[in-house]
Amino acid sequence: MQVPAPFGYERATSVDHAIQLLEQLGPEARLVAGGHSFIPMMKLRLAQPEHVIDINPLAAELGTISIDGSDLVIGAMARHNDLLGSAVVGEHFPVLHDAERVIADPVVRNRGTIGGSLCQADPAEDLSAALSALHATAVIRGSGGTRTVAVRELHTGPYETVVGDAEMLTHIRVPIRNGCGSAYEKVERRVGDWAIAAAAAAVWMDGGIISDAGIGLCAVGAEHFVSTDAEAVLRGQAPSDDVIAAAAAAAAAGCNPTTDQRGPAEYKRHLAGELTARALRRAIARAQGAAA
């Protein structure tokens, strides 16, 4: 079996302690939460940090999912299964349950964390697309204090985020607005595989009109995991087959998939459109069901 290269193991006892350790140990230190993306990379020696800071003890501090004012707040240490098991998440944002059901497998979901997934920033990471569609924000803490960025702005490229060397993502905030419906659609080669392509759709309905929309795209090279073109098509429209088709076409046109063993680019582009349409239909139905 493959094994990681040697590293110094540290255990953080609080968020402040974790940040302090990051500052003290420098840029070759890495936070590890669930570790289900990062430890395999260490085993394959694609990642060789000098220090690993175990933040699992922060699960109590950062593992909760709650409503704070008009936001759903998800702690970065919430495990995938916590999100999937949360009734409040299902009530407001079924897209997150849709996505969680198809992220890896139940045992991995027991360990993997929301923050870890987002910070790993894999181009095929599902929650980045789902949370971007929901216009969620990320709360990032450093020794100088806390800042927030849109999840859409979190990723600067494959495996890269705006989270600094001595910062950590602590929470995700998802604004709760009336009339919301959302859904996630994914095609994978096999259950548990990374997406060939996936699409998240969120719509906010107001008097029969789509007042706002979010279209997240996963694994198809969409800038910031979203299709702002598709969102623009939807805003201000009454839902119809034509509007959905136009949004899907915009999503397909605007993405930039690459050919690999999951499929040729043209297939992935097709899926971007097809799955956007499917997710939109379900999101709209859910919004209308919620309104009824």
Positions in the binding site for other proteins (CB under 8 A): 1-9, 11, 32, 35-36, 39-40, 42-45, 51-52, 54, 56, 104-108, 110-111, 187, 189-194, 196, 259-267, 270-271, 274-275, 278
Q: Residue 193 or 212: which CB sits closer to other proteins?
A: 193
Q: Residue 85 or 142: which CB sits closer to other proteins?
A: 85
Rounded CA-CA distance 159/156 in Å is: 8
Reduced to 3 states (helix: H, G, I; strand: E, B; else coil), residue 99 is: helix
Rounded CA-CA distance 184/210 in Å is: 18
Smallest separation, CB 162 to other proteins (Å): 27
First-to-final CA distance of the chain: 55
Q: Residue 2 or 241: which CB sits closer to other proteins?
A: 2
Q: Residue 23 or 267: which CB sits closer to other proteins?
A: 267
Smallest separation, CB 12 to other proteins (Å): 12
Smallest separation, CB 169 to other proteins (Å): 19
Rounded CA-CA distance 275/216 in Å is: 10
Backbone angles phi, psi at 49, to 5 degrees: -70, 150
The token pair at 265 is 């680019």
Rounded CA-CA distance 15/158 in Å is: 26
**Could you write out the DSSP letters of every residue in 31-46?**
EESS-TTHHHHHHTTS
Q: Residue 42 or 283: which CB sits closer to other proteins?
A: 42
Smallest separation, CB 11 to other proteins (Å): 7
Rounded CA-CA distance 89/136 in Å is: 13
Q: Residue 9 or 88: which CB sits closer to other proteins?
A: 9
Q: Are 95 and 186 in contact (CB under 8 A)?
A: no
Reduced to 3 states (helix: H, G, I; strand: E, B; else coil), residue 204 is: strand
Smallest separation, CB 19 to other proteins (Å): 19
